[in-house]
A and B are shown apart, each in its own frame.
Chain A
Amino acid sequence: MPARALAPSPPFSVARAVALCGATSILAACGGAATAPARLPGAAQTAAARAGAGQAPAKAPARDQVAAARASADAAEERLLDTLSNSPAHKALARPLLTGGVLQTRGGAPRAQVEPQSFRVRELPLVAMPAPLVASAAPAVLPPGDAPAELVVDWRGVAPERVGSTYTSVRVSLKGAPYARLRIGGNETTIGSRADGGLYVSCSTPEATSPVVPPSTGKGKKAAPPGAEPRLSAARPPNRGGAITPARWEMLTLGKTAQLTVVDAWFDPGACRAVVVPRTTGVARPLPGGVLYGYRASCQPQPGADAADCGARESMVILAPALTHLALSATTDGTEASRGMFTRATVPLQRGGGASLVSRVDGGVLRDWLGEPAGVPRPRQLLVGVEVVQGVGDREATAVSYVEPLE
């Protein structure tokens, strides 16, 4: 027991007993001791009774008397605490005492409990996904080919034939898919089901060979010659001063599976046209929980491109609605996430490695993602996650996913 100062008050007073028991509402644990010294156990009873009777040393006690008093106090203290800690009431009441009444805790909520469900990575569809085109491999002239029907150019009320050799800002978008992502050069955006959104670029006629006119304040537009093809110039210089730039768009359609079509194209601002190089369609399978979709992707280098543009490893692509607080990690490098109106997250698959995705999705976003009508109740937020782990001795990866509502 720790040595406690005795003077000037008696070694173990009623006040102390009351404070220890009564004042903290554990009278039951003390057996009513707080207000009835006669019922205090053992030496505590004696000490408390003595204190209650107002007995105090008439003069300074000798050293041995102090030692005896100290020992008595310690014994009394121990017995009382012992009684407390061993009494049945202590089990019910002492815990609040130990933490000063109701336990105060910091803000926040406990971690959500989850019920991960396993899936087999090797049963996910394997898609050979080409690497994106690179600007350095851009052709000098647009190769022959059909213009993709899904690419929409919104002239924003300006007649193309009136553009002439100057320029106008147009919106390039995609149609035909509820979720899409479009990248032209270094600019990227996602596009919703109503083809809203898109990239803004500048157009002029194809005959115009003069340098691109810098953006104006909107005044002094010249009319294009009648019948002239509009000329597009990217809002940002596409590459090496040339006109042709790589473009990629992804279109996602959801159902029992998710169909992701990835289109790589050369985009010619001068012709306001794109020509598709490869068009790759992959099917992603729903992961347990029904919110996320996944497929395995192996990368294939584009013709003429450096094979190093493709990682040698297989990866897993997770398709998800718009996520908040996305956190993605893997034992090795190779994670990648494209966000926006839908999410495409890539994690490497490697023996001897692991990868994780943890995120939240808003209930309203999920309702749209699942194609549910507005009245369907959904929690405000859900926790979604994927874990893929494969030890060096594992024949296949262990993979789980979960979707849990957050309170």
Chain B
Amino acid sequence: MRLALVGVVGGALLVGGCGGARPDPVQRAASVAAGARVPVAACARRHPGVGATRVGALRQSGTVALARAGAAGIAYVADEDAALVRTIDVDAGVERARTPLAGTPSQLMVLADGRLAVALRDKNQVQVLEPTADVAAPLAHLCRVDVPDEPVALAATPDDARLLVSSAWARRLTVLDAASLAARRSIELPREPRAVVADDDGKRAFVAHVVGARMSVVDLDVDPVDAGAKRDPRSIDLRARKVVGESRDDKMREGCQGFALAKSVSGKEAAEAERPAVAGTIPAPAAPRAVPQAATPSGRVFAPMVTVEPGDVAVRSSGYGNPVDVVPTEAPIVSVVDAAAERTLTRAVLSDGARHTDECLLPRAAAFHGGSGTLLVTCLGNDTLVELDARGADPSRLERRRWKVSAGPTGVAIDPLRDRAVVWSQFDRALTVIDLASTRVTDTPTRVSFARDADSNVAPLAAWGRELFHRTDDRRISGDGRACASCHPDGREDALTWSTPDGPRQTIMLAGRTRDSAPYSWLGAHADLKTHIRTTFRRLGGGGLPDAEASLDETDALVAYLESMPGPSPSRIEGQASDRARLAHRGQELFFADAQACASCHLSGTGTDASAHDVGSRAPSAETRATFDTPSLRFVSGTAPYFHDGRYATLDALLASGDGKMGHTLHLSREDVVALRTYLETL
């Protein structure tokens, strides 16, 4: 039976994208760019100078990007549910065109020559489109280029010569030639990279990370003398300490929700950035706002995020973390990074003596408004756009205005000449246009909403669950405002180990591995997801969702979303004869061999035996139980740290620990350990 299982799995050998560690994506992308699958010329403009042109100087992707077609303001929207680009006339408030995509878009950006680059998250590609003279016509497809797994964000260097692509699952930053999209370099990054910006001289890229409270800095210009040398990205520590009254807690708080970045630009830069110029059609710049230009910060990279205090894991807590502190378990900040120093200027979470509601606990997109020196941040948890004064050490303390927008704001773009912000709300499929020049927040913003596509990627029930999953400040879910997505950003995990009533518990990844993985919780205490959800809400101090016996209720919706949320789509290793494929194959043999006994609990690699085991991992003080449910190993390579208490930072560390109860790995050679790890990375 086991041999048959090995045969089935071995035949598939779905070796995922993991380089070095993972497959070398730059080789893959370079080979594609060299003509293996996409002719280089295919990505170039076929009709230069035709169609809409870029607006703004941000050179950074989002779910919404602005362009100008004649005098009309155009918004391109990456609708991930419908897998298409919407072309929306912002002035008229109508959709002009829809361009179906080859996959699910995460973000898009308008290149200097008017082309549109779209990151296709599930296809591991960047698709390039070209506008036509008729804004009402779909964009023309130019090419698709392979990039490392799960491309999520794009940016251009100030000279518009290079396109940067961050890949979340592959943990890579790929540098492409902006004209041909030929791959130039690929740099390995820490976990879960997201937004990327290039600095003012185009020599460095700054990359946000959803987890880890860090920002990566990558040198884009490599000295030809040591071009072959490995250049590790530098890491900026974004952790902050809590300051309450006159006492300062020297313990640094952890961080999460680092999805967005925004780079400071001056109002002048923003106004001059439209290229190529469209004669006679560009509106006059908006009148300067109240904030003096001289006071506008420069050389900054703003990173909206959330600081987290997961509690002392050596002691059990009543919930998750320490929910009764005056500074909440999760508290938002905007970390202000001095780009020249590669250091954050934000070192503290300052309490003003009150606990606040309606905080931006799920920041998802940010844009700097050079005209006013403000930072606009979309908050997914409470469906707001907040305007922060960017001049402070932590702009989150300096909220100037906020607007209610449609549900699920995932992107914001600024039209500096019209002095307006455009927000895309994925959950409601709506575009909100906000007049920033208006001093009245109560002015009703323009909204353009769209009907749900019949073939939407998200079923209605799951869409309902998605809203609940991301809702902050719902007392039924938590007592302190946290949402499900607070600990499970993108349905994944925050890479933290929490103090819980059962002992230290590492957050688990949900996306792509919730269905059919009962029982739930680290102790395997809950036979079904609904029970597990209710218990979790109770532990978070939430009152619980109402139960409707005879109808679909909100918990059903959450279950539907949890079971349908997509996981990563790692590429398969191409070529069974590659070194990496051979290693993975060897690792697979080791995994299923009796000597290691991995598969006796982790059935079929990604399955489980649905049982709890004493694996000798009970910590002496805080644990209540000695047996733990066998977790799924699906996507295990991207879920560090490991073990229920997060005691192992890497898979290597876990395999090296070999305690004899959870498989046997101590007797393996280094080469076999690497092989086993390589196989695990394919799951």
- B residues with a Cβ closer than 8 A to A are 243-246, 248, 291-292, 294-295, 297-300, 336, 338-341, 343, 345-348, 350-359, 389, 391-394, 397-402, 407, 428, 449, 451-452, 454, 459-464, 467-468, 471, 473-476, 479-481, 543, 545-546, 548, 550-552, 554, 556, 559-560, 563-564
**B471 and A99 form a contact (CB under 8 A):** yes
Please tell me which one of the listed residues B356, B391, B467, B474 contacts residue A111 in the complex, with CB atoms under 8 A apart: B356
| Contact indicator per residue, chain A 372-407, by CB within 8 Å of chain B (1) or not (0) | 000000000001010111011110001110100000
CA distance A302 to B646 in the complex (A): 54
Q: CB distance B459 to A1 under 8 Å?
A: yes
10 A-B pairs closest in CB distance: A325-B353, A19-B551, A81-B460, A354-B393, A329-B348, A387-B392, A118-B295, A354-B345, A391-B338, A327-B350
B-chain residues with CB within 8 Å of residue A329 when the two chains form the complex: 243, 248, 347-348, 350, 393
> Are B397's CB and A385's CB within 8 A?
yes
**Contact partners of A18 in chain B: CB under 8 A:** 551
Segment with Cβ contacts to B, from A82-90, A139-147, A291-299: A82-90
Which segment of A197-205, A307-315, A356-364 sits at the interface? A356-364
**Contact with A95, one of B245, B402, B407, B552 (Cβ below 8 angstroms):** B407
Q: List 13 A-B contacts (CB under 8 A).
A: A16-B550, A78-B461, A81-B464, A85-B463, A103-B474, A106-B479, A324-B353, A326-B245, A329-B393, A356-B397, A391-B298, A391-B299, A391-B345
Which of A99, A111, A328, A385 has a CB less than 8 Å from the CB of B243? A328
Known contacts A16-B552, A116-B391; can you find 5 more A-B pairs with CB under 8 A? A2-B556, A78-B461, A108-B354, A113-B401, A398-B297
Query: Known contacts A19-B550, A82-B452; is A106 also within 8 Å of B292 by CB?
Result: no
Q: Which residue of A lies closest to B348 (CB)?
A: A329
Q: Given that A20-B552, A352-B341 are contacting pairs, would A109 and B291 also be in contact in the complex, using a CB cutoff of 8 Å?
A: no
Q: Is the CB of A85 within 8 A of B460?
A: yes
Q: A100-B476, A104-B476, A327-B243 are in contact. Are A392 and B341 (CB under 8 A)?
A: yes
Q: Are B389 and A19 in contact (CB under 8 A)?
A: no
Q: Are A400 and B392 in contact (CB under 8 A)?
A: yes
Candidates B246, B359, B451; contact of A328 at CB < 8 Å: B246
| Residue pair B460, A400 in contact (C-beta under 8 Å) | no
Q: Is A195 an interface residue (CB 8 A)?
A: no
Q: How far is the CB of B671 from chain A (nearest CB, A)?
A: 44
How far, in whole Å, are A86 and B389 apart by their CA atoms in the complex? 37
A281 in the interface (beta carbon within 8 A): no
Contact (Cβ within 8 A) A389 B248 = no
Min CB distance B59 to A, Å, is 20
Contacts of B400 in A (CB 8 A): 113-116
Residue of B nearest to A95 (CB): B407
> With an 8 A cutoff between CB atoms, is A208 at the interface?
no
**Chain B residues near A85 (CB, 8 Å)?**
452, 460, 463-464
* Contact yes or no, B357 A107, CB < 8 A: yes
Segment 89-104 of A: residues with Cβ below 8 Å from B: 91, 95, 98-100, 103-104
CB neighbours (8 Å) of B346 from chain A are: 354
Closest Cβ of chain A: how far from B218's Cβ, in Å?
Answer: 20
Q: Is the CB of A104 within 8 A of B559?
A: no
| B359 CB contacts on chain A under 8 angstroms | 111
State the Cβ distance, B339 to closest chain A Cβ, in Å.
8
Mark each residue of chain A from 211 to 240: 1 if its CB lies under 8 Å from any CB of chain B, else 0.
Answer: 000000000000000000000000000000
Contact B475 A104 (CB under 8 A): yes
* A323-371 residues at the B interface, CB under 8 angstroms: 324-331, 337, 339, 352-356, 358-360
In the complex the two chains form, is B460's CB within 8 Å of A84's CB? yes
A4 to B563, CA, bound (A): 12
Contact in complex: A78, B474 (CB < 8 Å): no
CB closest residue in chain B, given A353: B345
Once the chains are docked, how many angstroms separate the CA of A327 from the CA of B242? 10
Contact between chains at B393 and A387 (CB < 8 Å): yes
Q: Of B341, B462, B560, which contacts A391 at CB under 8 A?
A: B341
Chain A residue at minimum C-beta to C-beta distance from B551: A19
Is B298's CB under 8 angstroms from A20's CB? no
Contacts of A356 in B (CB 8 A): 348, 350, 392-394, 397
Between B339, B354, B468, the greatest number of chain A beta carbons within 10 A of the residue's beta carbon is seen for B354
The answer to whether B352 and A77 touch across the interface, beta carbons within 8 angstroms, is no
Pick from B298, B451, B481: contact of A106, CB under 8 Å: B481
Q: How many angstroms from the CA of A15 to the CA of B551 in the assembled complex?
A: 7
A111 near B336 (CB under 8 angstroms)? no
A398 engages B295 (CB within 8 Å): yes
Query: How close is B158's CB to chain A, nearest CB, in angstroms?
Result: 16
Q: Is there an interface contact between B358 and A82, defined as CB atoms closer than 8 Å?
A: no
A304 close to B (CB within 8 Å) = no
Digit string of A1-44 for contact with B (CB within 8 Å is 1, else 0)? Answer: 11010000100010111111001000000000000000000000
List the A residue with the shortest CB-CB distance to B291.
A118
B residues near A77, Cβ cutoff 8 Å: 460-461, 552
Q: Decide if A209 is an interface residue (CB 8 Å cutoff).
A: no
Partner of A389, one of B350, B392, B460: B392
B611 to chain A, nearest CB (A): 24
From known contacts A2-B564, A356-B392, infer whether A108 and B356 are also in contact, taking CB-CB under 8 Å. yes
- Decide yes or no: A383 and B352 within 8 Å by CB, A98-B468, A111-B359, A354-B345 being known contacts: yes
Q: Does A55 contact B (CB under 8 A)?
A: no
Contact B397 A2 (CB under 8 A): no
A2, A86, A328 pick with most chain B CB within 10 angstroms: A2
**A255 interface hit (Cβ, 8 Å):** no
Cα A216 to Cα B407 in complex, Å, equals 73
Tell me if A54 counts as interface (CB < 8 A to partner B).
no
Does A110 reach chain B (CB closer than 8 Å)?
Answer: yes
Determine whether the beta carbon of A387 is less than 8 Å from that of B475.
Answer: no
B463, B479, B546, B552 pick with most chain A CB within 10 angstroms:
B552
